[in-house]
Amino acid sequence: SQTIHQWPATLVQPVGSPLSLECTVEGTSNPNLYWYRQAAGRGLQLLFYSVGIGQISSEVPQNLSASRPQDRQFILSSKKLLLSDSGFYLCAWSVQRTRGAGNSPLHFGNGTRLTVT
């Protein structure tokens, strides 16, 4: 069966420090991969998605970036964190389909709670 691992679970970082969150998926090949952010008490905002190695699409202009160095590895990074980057970051995967993720549900990791101080 498929599993998704996301780490760390919690992170407290000072403003201006770098960030690296990692996500890996097991049990499936060529997944679509996603990074979502959830502010406290809010909905889910799509940050990045990837349909293949090295292919990254950004949805929200910001000081975050994403990379996919391997088929089942997705990394979220920042060179300098802002206070507004605080939130609950969720990695997700879905089945790769010819015309996109369309009818395939998202499977989320356990999330990383980031607090920027």
Partner 1 sequence: GENVEQHPSTLSVQEGDSAVIKCTYSDSASNYFPWYKQELGKRPQLIIDIRSNVGEKKDQRIAVTLNKTAKHFSLHITETQPEDSAVYFCAVNTGGFKTIFGAGTRLFVKA
The residues, any chain, with a CB within 8 Å of residue 27's CB and separated by 6 or more, are 1, 2, 3
- Pick from 59, 63, 70, 80 the residue near partner 1 by CB under 8 A: 59
The separation between the first and the last C-alpha atoms of the chain, rounded to the nearest angstrom, is: 38
Beta carbon of residue 55, minimum distance to partner 1 (angstroms, whole number): 11
Query: Is the bond into 8 cis (omega within 30 degrees of 0)?
Result: yes
Q: Considering the rule CB under 8 A, would residue 99 count as an interface residue with partner 1?
A: yes
Q: Considering the rule CB under 8 A, would residue 105 count as an interface residue with partner 1?
A: yes
Return the structure tokens found at 65: 């970036």
- Pick from 51, 53, 56, 95 the residue near partner 1 by CB under 8 A: 51
Residues near partner 1, by CB under 8 A: 32, 34, 42-44, 46, 49, 51, 57, 59, 90, 99-103, 105-111
